[in-house]
Amino acid sequence: MEHVLACASSLLTCHKVLGEEGTLLLSSIRTRAGLSMFVIEDKGGAIALMLASLLFLGTWPAVLTLLERRGRLPQHTYLDYSLTNLLAAVLIALTFGQLGDSKRGMPNFFTQLGQDNWPSVLFAMAGGVVLSVGNLSTQYAWAYVGLSVTEVISSSMVVVIGTTLNYFLDNRINRAEILFPGVACFLVAVILGSAVHASNAADNEKKLSGSTNANKLGTSGTVEPSKQVLDKDAPKDLENGASGTKQVDKAEAGTAEYLIELEERRSIKVFGSNTFIGLGIVFFAGVCFSLFSPAFNLATNDQWHTLKDGVPHLVVYTAFFYFSISCFVIGVGLNILFLYRPMAGVPRSSFGAYLRDWNGRQWALLAGLLCGFGNGFQFMGGQAAGYAAADAVQALPLVSTFWGVLLFGEYRKSSRKTYVLLGFMLFMFVAAVAVLMASSGHRSTE
């Protein structure tokens, strides 16, 4: 009772009075009394946020993949996505980050904007830069490797590299004997993911070699559409983001005809490309994704003591705002460049053509909101349960694989070898997530 009275009389000393075990009580007092901004500090709230983050972060890649397969230029899609991704961060900062009055050590959003916290701001912005580059890379990797394998490999690399870095940044609060076997499981999932892609690519090549479809593959591996498939009324100016072929959806998923029709209408052409190109893009994206969470950890907790004495740490909402600003600037800047100097055989476009392209824009805007709120909820959960625990949202490939199979027919009519490898990959991924979550619930006794 004396502890409770001491905590009620001074929220500033509550952590000192109750230590780590007083986190739940402090969270309850803050929420009910409205004395400070909205902060989740109990396990239940953190788990709810991470589950929502898992759903959002596993869904938005499927939305962008759907648009690319329908022929919308990736530059146009990413520019739309960037707008609402930033909007989500602004909404989170102006709502959750502005609730209540500023308290010592935990100022609200507007108060913190004027403080001398630029070292932490730069860490947050660096995290936004690497995340933006990673997201941009995966937009092309989905076309080359497929949604499922891309998400499994990149997410596993986040855990292998990012969780290891967070383990040391968080002062080794997790039990290494549990954490690192989980990291090893993720590493196995990466290897199996590469094998799944290679096996599926071999399956597709076999299907295409035996196809009697009127379409045929060119000598360079690209598709030469038949005259029956070409739409005479389709716009011939590729700058408008529309495909020059009809939306052919009659072929059964997994067949050679389906693969050829898909190649005809998609915006990124992948037939004839080297397997290692796609995997190279995925691994590059994985390295980028691995760095954004540790950078955000440094921004909010200042483990390297870069802030001046008396300057409070960045609260999660302010850090996420700066994080999203840099993410927006890099994403928009690179994609405006790619409008005029495209990559991966994508048609050239222009900013005017982007403004006129409303085909699928609503889905791209939705994807930006899903990703923005997904990242925000992940960081809010990480503030409550630790950033190593928040890495459990990297289970998002389970959601992405579901969408990949349901929406895009991935792995349909594949060989038994591909199915076996896919099953082992998902099993290792689930096992790794379970071990990671178990490690986050223990503290080192050292």
> How many other CB atoms are found less than 10 A from the CB of residue 81?
30
Average pLDDT over residues 4-11: 38
Q: Residue 239 pLDDT more than 50? A: no
Residue 306 reports pLDDT greater than 60: yes
Site of tokens 């199979």: 405
CA pair distance 379, 317, nearest whole angstrom: 9
Report yes or no on 38 lying in a domain: no
Q: Which residue has the higher pLDDT, 91 or 380?
A: 91
Poorest-confidence range of 5-14, 273-282, 429-438?
A: 5-14
User: What is the mean pLDDT of the segment spanning 260-286?
Assistant: 83
Q: Calculate mean pLDDT across residues 275-299.
A: 90
In this structure, is residue 248 part of a structural domain?
no
The average confidence (pLDDT) of the chain is 77
| pLDDT tens by residue, 203-233 | 988 888 876 554 444 433 334 444 333 343 3
pLDDT of residue 193: 79
Q: Evaluate whether residue 166 is within a structural domain.
A: yes
What's the confidence (pLDDT) of residue 378?
84
Q: Three-class SS string for the chain?
A: CHHHHHHHHCHHHHHHHHHHHHHHHHHHHHHHHCCCCCCCCCHHHHHHHHHHHHHHHHHHHHHHHHHHHCCCCHHHHHHHHHHHHHHHHHHHHHHHHHCCCCECCECCHHHHHCCCCHHHHHHHHHHHHHHHHHHHHHHHHHHHHCHHHHHHHHHHHHHHHHHHHHHHHCCCCCCHHHHHHHHHHHHHHHHHHHHHHHHHHHHHHHHHHCCCCCCEECCCCCEECCCCCECCCCCCCHHHCCCCECCCCCCCCCCHHHHHHHHHHCCCCCCCCCHHHHHHHHHHHHHHHHHHHHHHHHHHHCCCCCCCCCCCCCCHHHHHHHHHHHHHHHHHHHHHHHHHCCCCCCCCCCHHHHHHCCCCHHHHHHHHHHHHHHHHHHHHHHHHHCHHHHHHHHHHHHHHHHHHHHHHCCCCCCCHHHHHHHHHHHHHHHHHHHHHHHHHCCCCCC
For residue 266, report the phi and psi dihedrals to the nearest 5 degrees. Answer: -75, 160
For residue 318, the model assigns a pLDDT of 94
CA–CA separation, 254 and 419 (whole Å) = 13
Residue 273, pLDDT > 80, answer no
382 found inside a domain: yes
Number of structural domains (the chain) is 1
Mean pLDDT is lowest, of 3-12, 159-168, 212-221, 411-420, for 3-12
Q: What is the pLDDT of residue 46?
A: 73
CA distance readout (Å), 415 to 195, 202, 262, 411: 13, 9, 20, 9
Residue 334: give the domain boundaries.
55-214+273-440
Task: Assess whether pLDDT exceeds 80 at residue 142.
Answer: yes
Residue 3: CB atoms within 10 A of its CB come to: 14
Least trusted range by pLDDT, from 83-87, 108-112, 322-326: 108-112
Residues 44-61: what's their mean pLDDT?
A: 84
Residue 225 placed within a domain: no
Q: How far is CA 358 from CA 91, 211, 242, 363, in A?
A: 25, 35, 10, 10
Which pLDDT band holds residue 334 (cuts at 50, 70, 90)?
Answer: very high
Q: Which residue has the tokens 């994080």?
A: 323
**pLDDT on residue 438:** 65
For 250, counting Cβ atoms within 10 Å of its Cβ (0-12 exposed, 13-18 middle, 19+ buried), the class is exposed
pLDDT above 90: residue 166 = no
Cβ atoms of residues 303 and 249 within 8 Å: no
Is there a domain that residue 247 lies in?
no
Q: Does residue 408 form part of some domain?
A: yes
Residue 16 in tokens: 């000192």
Task: Provide the whole-model pTM.
Answer: 0.76
